[in-house]
Structure 1
């Protein structure tokens, strides 16, 4: 029995002289907290005693100890109050009859029980609190205690406190049914509660950590039911993988009543944003169940004023702003209490022997005790079976589990086979889905043809199905998970929860021959559930539900066309939704397996090669991608001809590889040919032609032909808006490309105007952390920076970089692109040392992945040279800048904007080091080349002209310098405005510089 005391007399009311002790079972903590608060407001001193009598002490002695408490003792009677121990009804009646009458004035009682109470409780005359409102419940509590029932003043009554227990949280979703056999764990529950309630905003993240079968999920569920009344939102999310976790978050937006469209990303973003702001609810609890791979979901954990409770086997959560709370096996007294509640026919000594034999592991105790309670076998016989190894003819479980576990499972499954054989069939079928949540409703519409004989009746007969499910539930083998609006029929839209340990044990027993039919059944069910359009973001939740099961159903070894189509659609979904690491792993396995199963030249192999290459390319692995794309292009051209659509698709991928490798001219020539060919074959409005044109524009942009890229991107954007929809992902992609062209041409105001709307649309459709959304936000930040909005741009850049690193990693090409620009920003407006660290990090990454001769490597080394100049390391800066200039000119030509920018920077460092004549020659040449290739008013041309004027003045050619400077200043004022930061800077004769910005390929 544990004791806690509260002594305040709320809102300044005088403290009553007689204290009140509330005795309650841990399950009813919410009632105790609410009653205690209402009494506190009236000035009464309240203490709490959690009723948990030790099994070694007689019930009468434990109950009599309550009389030792000062003042009145208020008993909160419930089913759990009488079940703790456990004690029989006759024991309770005896204790009540012997203790209550002599001390009747000391006791008061209220009842929140759902079942019948022991008959002797009539001596307590408990007041019934269930099914009534808060005001009436308070009145009955006061009457039971013999206290005045006058109303509290409005100002006192308005004091915040615990929610009335019968008032559920405003939003409540996907929480498992309460385990009425939950036992013990009081210390863990209290520790979890105190940590979360005392955590500051943003720090309320707690991970229940422990091995499989130890009861982490049950502990999390009990926490929800015990403390959930203190929250306005309680939302349970399965996190077996990233996809199901994202789906759970997206579904929360609807429950919160947020105004969003149907787009998956929009709902996901809205939910996270609402939780972060605490609007409409600040008191929220998100339970993240089964998060065994922190790297898959940690970046999507909610932040804000609420709490996050995680269950996981993985201790790595300690590295992600979460405190770990270790969940061990049961203490022996907890095991004994649990077994006796699960199997009342066993006495204390028998329960102790069973707990010893099964190592106090909650999951196995639950199943073994449930079986024993329905069996006439003695505990001695059962223990003997465990010690001897038992009959393992039904199941040969994994060697990962102790022998006692293996035998316990053999006994249980033999029982299931003998009583309801369909339950074994269902259980084995479930192991060809992933462990955790199993969407058995996928099986609902599966045609009987091809289904193994023993499953046909099960799948087509609701009565047999429900009998099998109920039998598995009875022995705690599975748990039935309800979805919104689902009925009790497991085939009507519910999922079964199969524990990972149970999954492994059962699966290891299935023969290879039997497994073929079971796997094929699940594969066909998954293929039937395929929505068929991975490009539609509204289908992403369904794909997120399907993807975890691909591995377990062994879809890659199927020769069924529908299953193979499912594989390709899922791989494309991973690419489009930003699940790049998962896509790389799955794509590699698919390519290797299909080459082996189908043959290296099978059409499906070329399909998977294309989708896998898309994922690799997105990750910046251009070399490996070219090595798998080029053979595909050559084979398809040789066997199908140049105008075959499969060959054209592969050639488009190869052109993208060439862009990534810095071979821009080759890429452009190939892309132009592809666009022309597509136009002839499929017409100018086909999506393949528009994509080919998009790639031509990308090549022109990389070659420095920004006007040419802009003209094409404008036409593509208009066509996609007309042919698709404004919010289609490809339309939004075109908006980013078009705005990028505008910005590179110096038309920053137009670029920002276009991107402001595009950022919002991408956030709604793709999600706030999708790479495409981040690119839109980056473009807007850079445009504002070029407009002189430095503070706003700096905040936005830092945010984009942080989220990008968190979502897709620090080495991803998009992350490196953002980091390169952040480093340049920090050089001028932030921490110069941090700018150097960031610049060196990007430089090292590019040299490792792209090589020293790549233009991106040259560009970021040029940026790094400017940092060294500012740090005073001028000789090293000049050497690095000269090297960058030579490398860049070799890579893209002397007239490319990147080469011209490197020349502007190199001339500046030459000037600083006193080599003014060579600086002037370089800026003179650069100004002429920039004017011819970009136009006389382009920002880079103006920078070169201002720099040339500075070099002329350093050579004492003042007349020429003034003339050059005056003309450049006039063009600056006319182009950017007289008060623009660049105009003001040039007018004050600050030497201009140029920042290299890598482009997406």
Structure 2
């Protein structure tokens, strides 16, 4: 008897018998596998090898029938079976001498070879089965990998070890094949002839059901002829096992047609397929999560249609889980369509009936989708109104042939339902969003202006739901993209109206609102019910800028843990993103808009805007340079509050925040913005305190200060004269505030080159401060420095030097050698020396100032 190996391979890109006879097969991809088999046989010292596709003339029905009926025996008698896995690579990114099992084993478990009908006998019949990668590297054999193969295929380990197949019941052997597929439908039966030691003629064209029926009759006859001493191979579940195999089209319970406009998401589809294909010996659970409107439902819908195309015998069941009512109604429909016995008589236990049905191995492969599983309480809480009933999560079916997919907006729900198996759906990439826009537009000419297209997609945040809604409005009203952009630039209420427009969408539930502005309402309510602090944070953030939100600006919670949980809840719903670099939060722009609409509808927007002002006033620091990093992070949030349509400029409580804001933006050199802010403060203080109140006069002085810094000397002068004269009358000519206003006016004169007028005022201020405050008071020293500056501007170097030297001497004695004011006075004196050509003296002072400031 000849000793020869057999090549086991997947039914793809094979080199058939005719090609080899005519010599035309060498250029085909499959020919490489034949070369491999020849080389490996030679390496193993075998003279001949056999490959079914090139050793059987399939054009001859007699030869084909004989070969199929003899195939199991041929595999059994072969010296070895080489399994060439064209979809398993051992290398990837590593060098050839660094082959690691951890790289190829996950891919090995997902190989399509384990899903084909004909490969079952290739696995079981031969005594020796060796597996090879696409590079021809040996991965192992059936004996060394039997546990992994058992987990992947469900085939009993004893069967893999060579125990006679009649030791295993018909049910068990049928279940080994139930998840496998064949290219020709009749082969679902013909590929099992050897597994059951049956011979019968092939009748291609009879169909799957008839072929399996003939096989079943042959098995029954065979069992009747067996001696009773042999182990019983036919159980009471025999009919169920065959019923599963006979099903040409398994149940399809999906409420939506396929979306012809589905676009992109290749990465997420591939990841889902990968997760669903990994055999773990238990039910696979996967959660698809992302922001409402990002396209989770459409992604899973496309996935199940793809699965259906490839696996006709896989049941697909879709259950909307928005609320308990929709879920119950879906279970009724599922029980009816699956013809589950007794469900009508025991309606209260519907979930248990469906669970039991799908948990049977005879139910075959199935995918169960729970869409919109956002309310985790619905899954985890035990219903109080139904005594004896369990939690919804406890009614999930369990079967190693089944997969459960949840779609949810809530990452926390995703973790509890599917643990680590999650696929996050991010916002669309720009090019994919553009493709989606084009698919939905009736007039493609509208996209010929790239700037309008890109601007519109950016405004819609590349959110699929917003894009579909926009195109519906554009198509219906026959407007351009620029027209829609113009509408989006309207006042907030107008934009809300636009984004609240209902539109036809066959891919969404009829009882659920689909516009962007309302799609998150259910999420808002869930958050408010489950995590009140998270709802408060969302309301607060809706009243400030949605970008770059420091966590320190949020209102304090009952504990740090409560605060972290609240932020986690908003992150779980994809409402906010957390930046690892600075721990700032970003609230999705359309969620921000929708939340404001929600608050306005609830009559709470004004209340939360006031809370935002109060909190900002509480955390906003003074304009000191050392606080610059803090107040710069808060500025744009205060600005957003001021520009809000609900901000009341005249409110007394708002004046304090306006003042802090003005001081900070002035310190940052944004004088025009400071002018506007201080003017608002003036208006509040005039109304509340009166036109001559000291605080009112101070705020007018700040307006003049900003005008002066903008070079608007005349306007500044007018205000400063007004303040000075009023303070003289109200406070007295020697009051510190009066002297400050005189000094400010002198500075304005100096900036205009009006040296004499400036000098007169500065001398008056200096002398008065010496008498009232003392010659060493900081304000007195400041006035002396200002007068010295005026002398310098007139070229009166000696007068300037004398005053500056005196200021420096006092600063050194009173403030210390390293005080900023002392260093400033040294720098001023050095400048005066320099202007007189006294370079050495100037240099000595400048070096001393520089080294001290460095230190």
Quick check: TM above 0.5?
A: no
TM-score, normalisation: structure 1: 0.37
Structure whose residues are more often helix by fraction: 1
The structure with the largest alpha-carbon Rg is: 2
The alignment's TM-score, normalised by the length of structure 2, stands at: 0.42
